[in-house]
Amino acid sequence: MRVDFAPLDGITKAVFRQVWDRFFGGVDRYFIPFFSPTDQHILTDRDRHELTGSMDLPCVPQVMTCRAADFLWAVERLADLGFSEANLNLGCPSGTVTAKGKGSGFLARPDDLDRFFDEVFSKTRLPVSVKTRLGYQEAGEFPRLLEIFNRYPIQCLTIHPRIRAEKYRGEIHMDCFALAMESSRNPVCCNGDLQTVEDVRRLEARFPSLEAVMIGRGAIADPALPRKLQGGPAATRKELQAFAAALYQGYQEFYGQAHPASQRMKEIWFYLIHLFENGERLGGRLRCSRGPKAYELLETEIFQTLPLRDHAEGDLF
Ligand SMILES: Cc1cc2nc3c(=O)[nH]c(=O)nc-3n(C[C@H](O)[C@H](O)[C@H](O)COP(=O)(O)O)c2cc1C
């Protein structure tokens, strides 16, 4: 079974993908956080940089739009850049995105989605995969959506089994996911709340025909999780320390200054702190800290004082 790294906008940037892969790896593919095609069909320098910043790794770029012409334009650019698959974002729950009918907002208009796919799949130069939720308002929308997905040769249907209002928290709807496993004509990938090797093994045992799992926050909290899934060892303190230092260095080079680099590192630590015992107090102080110096001191304190666990625990999701 394949293991995909989930796209986490603002977190799994090119710098992160490079450093993470060098230290841990164990995933088959990295999904690049979404980019939205502009009306003028111009690939901005920023988007191009993010898209091409880790071409030596197996990456799948993600596009967020509800217009077939824009998606097809993006596919052409992605093919020119050397990618071999394009992923459509049907999951983003953000209000600014859904208000424009994109991300999970597109799920509220199944007939339009059907027409979108009809045009995209008749013209696309690359295989197209989809990352979706169960519905916009309620999980009851899913059977109709699945019927639509089943009409098209979707490379892989990655399902985050929640509706838009649930964002990334609360119980996931495994009953709906089971329906997808029974009825999907396309290969299915399961995404959501996978935190330990046991979580993944349980899922595999229940759904032996699962094509892939996609892991996001669980692999930030425990960077060795995908490696452990391949039979590799847990992360050591020394390794984590070197990883954090290399990532901080990479961000400083990217931004040309320490302040935004320390902000990025704090986002990583929001998850990574769960790999340490009794991390609540220092994790809280790190979140509230200001400036690179405070971040650096607190990170040193975490590594010097907190016992390391062999898997992430606590309220991660
Ligand atoms: C900060 C953040 C940024 C995200 N950015 C994206 C994105 O760009 N594209 C996308 O499809 N999903 C995005 N997601 C959703 C994740 O890819 C994933 O579906 C979600 O975190 C659930 O998986 P997990 O429990 O393994 O983390 C984002 C989630 C978070 C928390």
Asked if the model's pLDDT at residue 314 lies above 90, the reply is no
Q: What angle do CA 269, 271, 274 make, to 5 degrees?
A: 100
Mutate to test the pocket of ligand 1, among 3, 9, 131 (most ligand atoms within 8 A of CB): 9
- Mean pLDDT of all residues in 117-132: 98
Confidence band, pLDDT 50/70/90 cuts, at residue 224: very high
Query: What's the pLDDT at 315?
Result: 83
pLDDT tens for each residue of 54-94: 999 999 999 999 999 999 999 999 999 999 999 999 999 99
Round to whole Å and give the CA distance between 214 and 212.
7
Residue 218 CA: nearest ligand 1 atom is 26
- Mean pLDDT of all residues in 110-129: 98
Residue 6 CA: nearest ligand 1 atom is 17
Round to whole Å and give the CA distance between 105 and 117.
16
Asked if the model's pLDDT at residue 23 lies above 90, the reply is yes
Round to whole Å and give the CA distance between 255 and 49.
13
- 2-229: CATH number: 3.20.20.70
Unique residue bearing structure tokens 């669980």? 218
SS3 184: coil
- Give domain limits for the chain: 2-229, 237-305
Q: How far is the CA of 305 from the centre of ligand 1 (A)?
A: 31
Beta strands per DSSP E along 184-263? 188-191, 212-215
Residue ranges lining ligand 1, Cβ < 6 Å: 6-11, 33-34, 62, 89, 91, 131, 160, 168, 191-194, 215-218, 317
